[in-house]
């Protein structure tokens, strides 16, 4: 469920001869390249069902892009299907190169494949994304893609039939793709043998102020406290409708052009994480592996909590003290200085009030029907997923309380006007997720793995709101990684033993889990009379 993506380079496969494909042996593994392959996927898996029954738009197929790695494969080995989720297939290639799929392939002589989700990357059913054309972007359609692909996939250069259920297919996904992994095994477990769902949101809500809880708890507390107090003071100005003071506050950040208070609140929260599509590397982008993560959040916090700030910056803490009975806004000067020096530079046009930056109130800008990952992700949020990031209604806040769920819901109305065959609900139909079991979702050979410092964790299996997790079995295993963030287990460094202890042991647990499952595959296959 990322709203900000860190993209990696492209991979390709090169031919060894006319009958097989092989990875170049003279290329470092973390720089490997692969060719794209295309699969004829059904647009509509449910032509006789409800709202999918009438539209002729759903007739036919579309080309769904996939990539695969055979470097460790030996006949009889499993297939590992990495669910690409809310981004393009190429941006997930690190998982084939050095990450969790590479780790599992090497341990079990498996083949790895990345399947790009419908409506992402190059896998769009239509040339545009109107409301009607987005009708087929649903959880049920997406997980049906996974099963249909597994039953019909072809891997050029590999002899034999590797389709499911005759071959063990084991899925892995993180974030939104983690939820899709879990639901794929729950619904299509007769085809798909097993799955590992990492940081998977399985119990969603329309609003999700809990996104900030791990930051509030685990981030440097001097930084957190300063931001909490600044937010409180700003919200007091808003409550008193002190227009002059609000304008002065915005000007300190160089953002007086943002007349909507919610846009302004989201802009100054950008280094922390905010509703919509933030520009900074936030707490969510932290990672144990520096190749795929960023420490920008800590640079930001270090600035906000700087006790040796230059005098001209420190004096800004008193710029609004006359509105708070002489009390300084401690840290305001350093906070505003960081936003002006670093965050505003992330808006290349310099038009901070545009939809490309932090302005969201131009309704017509949301109406573009161009195929983009942003539009696809927003549609899923509006229709099924919800989880709108909002400020908490009580307690300390890192985001101003002017931001509530209506802020994101308005974008849904503007972006997706009613079509002939499809219209979005007035509020997300979160039952599309939660009706599969929510926090009680279970399936054989479905593993859940989460990080306790993940901003999305309270929607996941190990949520603080879930029942106590006290029993892990071979068929229904689970693991909470202490000190880990958003699907940190997906990254690797080609040497499990050299990884930090908490990641190393998680990867060893995943290897053992999958090996146990594979030992039972022949018995499972026999029970299915395959």
- Annotated active-site positions, please? 175, 454
Q: Position of tokens 């599969």?
A: 436
Contact 70, 76 (CB under 8 A): no
Sequence-separated (6 or more) residues with CB below 8 Å from residue 108: 77, 78, 511, 514, 515, 518
| Phi and psi torsions of 406, nearest 5° | -65, -25
Helices (H), strands (E): how many in the chain?
A: 16, 10
- Where does 219-356 have alpha helices with state H? 221-239, 243-252, 261-268, 296-304, 311-314, 332-338
Secondary structure class of 383 (helix, strand, coil): helix
What single string gives the DSSP state of each residue in 18-60? SS-EE--TTS-GGG-----EEEEEES-S-TTSGGGSS-GGGSS
Of 478, 484, 468, the residue nearest 510 (C-alpha):
478
Which residues share a beta bridge with 41?
A: 62
Angstrom distance (rounded) from CA 195 to CA 184: 8
Beta strand 21-22 with 79-83: parallel, antiparallel or unpaired? unpaired
The three-state secondary structure class of 474 is coil
């Amino acid at each position: 469920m990322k709203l900000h993506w860190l993209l990696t380079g492209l991979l390709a496969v090169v031919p060894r001869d006319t009958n097989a494909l092989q990875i170049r042996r003279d290329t470092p593994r973390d720089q490997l390249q692969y060719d794209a392959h295309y699969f004829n996927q059904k647009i509509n898996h449910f032509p006789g069902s409800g709202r999918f029954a009438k539209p002729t738009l759903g007739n036919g197929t579309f080309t769904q892009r996939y990539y695969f790695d055979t470097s460790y494969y030996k006949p009889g080995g499993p297939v590992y299907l990495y669910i690409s989720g809310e981004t393009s297939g190429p941006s997930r290639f690190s998982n084939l190169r050095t990450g969790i799929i590479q780790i599992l392939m090497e341990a079990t002589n498996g083949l790895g494949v990345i399947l790009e989700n419908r409506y992402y990357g190059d896998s769009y059913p239509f040339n545009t994304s109107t409301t009607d054309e987005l009708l087929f972007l649903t959880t049920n359609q997406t997980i049906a893609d996974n099963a249909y692909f597994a039953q019909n996939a072809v891997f050029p250069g590999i002899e034999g039939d590797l389709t499911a259920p005759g071959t063990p297919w084991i899925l892995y996904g993180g974030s939104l793709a983690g939820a899709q992994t879990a639901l794929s095994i729950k619904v299509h477990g007769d085809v798909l043998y097993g799955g590992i769902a990492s940081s998977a949101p399985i119990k969603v809500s329309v609003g999700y102020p809990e996104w900030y809880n791990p930051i509030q708890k685990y981030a440097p507390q001097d930084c957190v406290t300063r931001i909490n107090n600044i937010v409180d003071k700003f919200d007091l100005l808003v409550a008193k409708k002190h227009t002059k003071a609000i304008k002065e506050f915005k000007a300190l950040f160089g953002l007086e052009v943002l007349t909507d208070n919610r846009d302004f609140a989201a802009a100054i929260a950008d280094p922390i994480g905010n509703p919509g599509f933030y520009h900074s590397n936030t707490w969510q982008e932290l990672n144990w592996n520096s190749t795929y993560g960023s420490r920008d959040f800590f640079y930001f916090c270090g600035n906000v909590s700087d006790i040796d700030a230059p005098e001209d910056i420190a004096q800004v803490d008193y710029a609004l003290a006359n509105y708070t009975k002489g009390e300084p806004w401690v840290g305001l000067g350093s906070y505003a200085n960081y936003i002006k020096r670093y965050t505003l530079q992330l808006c290349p046009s310099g038009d901070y009030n545009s939809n490309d930056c932090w302005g969201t109130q131009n309704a017509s800008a949301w109406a573009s029907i161009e195929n983009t990952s942003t539009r696809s992700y927003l549609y899923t949020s509006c229709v099924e997923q919800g989880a709108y990031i909002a400020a908490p209604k009580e307690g300390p806040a890192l985001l101003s309380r002017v931001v509530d769920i209506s802020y994101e819901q308005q974008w849904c109305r503007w972006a997706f006007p009613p079509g002939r065959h499809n219209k979005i609900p007035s509020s997300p139909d979160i039952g599309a997720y939660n009706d599969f079991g929510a926090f009680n979702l279970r399936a054989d050979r479905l593993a859940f793995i989460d990080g306790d410092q993940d901003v999305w964790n309270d929607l996941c299996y190990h949520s603080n709101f879930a029942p106590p997790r006290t029993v892990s079995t071979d068929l229904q295993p689970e693991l909470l990684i202490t000190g880990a963030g958003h699907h940190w287990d997906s990254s690797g460094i080609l040497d499990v033993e050299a990884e930090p202890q908490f990641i190393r042991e998680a990867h060893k647990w995943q290897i053992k889990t999958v090996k146990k499952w594979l030992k039972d595959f022949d018995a499972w296959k026999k029970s299915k009379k395959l």
